Amino acid sequence: MEAVEIKTPFGRATRKKALFIVNPKSGNTRALSVIAPVIEALTNAGYETTALTTVCRGDATRIASEYGADAELLVFSGGDGTMNEIIRGVMTLEKKDRPVIGYIPMGSTNDFSLALGLPKRLDQLIETAIMGEPSDIDVGCFNGRHYAYLASFGAFTDISYSTPQEAKNALGFLAYLGSGMNSIANICPNHTNVMINGEMITGDYAFASVSNTPSVVGVINYTKTGAVDLNDGLFEVMLIDYPDTAIELGKIARGLSTGDFNNEYMHRYVCRDVRFILDEPVDWMLDGERVDAGHEVFIENIHSAVKIMLPRPETLKKNAFSLFE
């Protein structure tokens, strides 16, 4: 295995501290394969590294909260669920004590890595996590519980997080959209009052999302109508009405496939916070983690909450040895 070469900016007298957290179950234990190259790269970059693996759910949150303030850099390997736990742990720290986060996606679902524009080659992922550009991003707060990029309920949600990344890539958008549309038939409409931008709206919704990402559950693509800024203090909110007829269902499918949400059954908003008052409680998903929320949910955007390593332009241009090849 060829080592990832990182040019160190630090001498021994100025050696910094890094925390490396690995979810050994991510990607069918694929995350374990990155331990040696990441520790070697951190050492070459001048870091003294504490490396810990998670054992059970919630461990990444506990470790990040307990050890994060002592590190300048927190690198972790896992999927979206691990990212959610890392964010929750880091957000327990005072802002001045929060380490920069380096993400090496190795889970079965890595949707957020696409939103961040992370490279796919492992050597470039490691370099980005350690020597990337520290960039501020917003974080969501769901009834006091922090999340990284997506809170949602209804159709599409379970399919998105139960389908492995490889299967998503193989299915393609249209097949994935078809599975999502079929899921609408298996849920009940949820009568909901939504307070957003000072306006109360009411509807029977098949799906709702509050996100900080260009793409939602594999079928909603905001980039076709403009860029989504991950650090503007604003959420993208999508509400999709429950269709009563095949014609209404067809209009929703057309809107999703074209990225044109300008129809009477799909409602897009941009806001700093939003409140949901539901007739009946539903299961919400926060970055793929199921949570109970009761009848009322308040979601707010925490602007510039954390720093995460994003690719430098020169990183993406490299043709270094790839461990995926």
Hey, where are the domains in the chain? Answer: 12-137+305-317, 150-286
Amino acid identity of 18? A
Amino acid at 52: L
Determine whether 162 is exposed, middle or buried from the number of CB atoms within 10 Å of its CB (0-12, 13-18, 19+).
exposed
Residues in a beta bridge with 238: 209, 268
pLDDT in tens, 136-148: 999 999 999 999 9
**Selected residue with higher pLDDT from 29 and 295:** 295
Give yes or no for residue 185 having a pLDDT over 70. Answer: no
Give tens-digit pLDDT for 241-295.
Answer: 998 887 888 888 888 878 888 889 999 999 999 999 999 998 899 998 889 888 9
Decide if pLDDT at 10 tops 70. Answer: no
Mean pLDDT of the residues in the chain: 84
**Percent with pLDDT over 70 in the chain:** 80
pLDDT value, residue 225: 74
C-alpha separations of 216 from 28, 151, 189, 287, 323 in Å: 24, 10, 20, 10, 29
Q: For residue 317, give both structure tokens.
A: 């241009």
Does 181 have pLDDT greater than 60?
no
Class of domain 12-137+305-317: alpha beta
Across 234-246, average pLDDT = 91
Of 37 and 32, more confident: 37
What's the sign of the alpha-carbon dihedral 152, 156, 162, 163? negative
Whether the pLDDT of residue 315 is over 70: the answer is no
- pTM to 2 decimal places: 0.84
Digit-coded pLDDT (tens) for 67-95: 999 999 999 999 888 999 999 999 999 99
Asked whether the predicted pLDDT for residue 174 surpasses 50, the reply is: no
Which residues have CB under 8 Å from 167's CB, separation 6+? none
- Between these two residues, 316 and 88, which has the higher pLDDT value? 88
The lowest-confidence range among 15-29, 180-194, 273-287 is 180-194
Cβ atoms 218, 111 nearer than 8 A: yes
Q: Provide CB contacts within 8 A for 213, sequence distance 6+.
A: 111, 112, 115, 149, 150, 228, 230, 236
Residue 11 has pLDDT above 60, yes or no: no
| pLDDT score of 173 more than 60 | no
The answer to whether domain 150-286 has CATH 2.60.200.40 is yes
Interval 167-192 mean pLDDT: 62
Ranges of beta strands (E only) in the chain are: 16-22, 47-53, 73-78, 100-105, 133-142, 145-147, 150-154, 190-196, 199-211, 215-216, 220-221, 235-241, 266-271, 273-278, 283-286, 289-292, 296-310
Tokens coding 182: 């079929």
Is residue 107 within 8 Å of 80, Cβ to Cβ? yes
Provide, rounded to the nearest whole percent, the portion of the chain with pLDDT above 90: 55
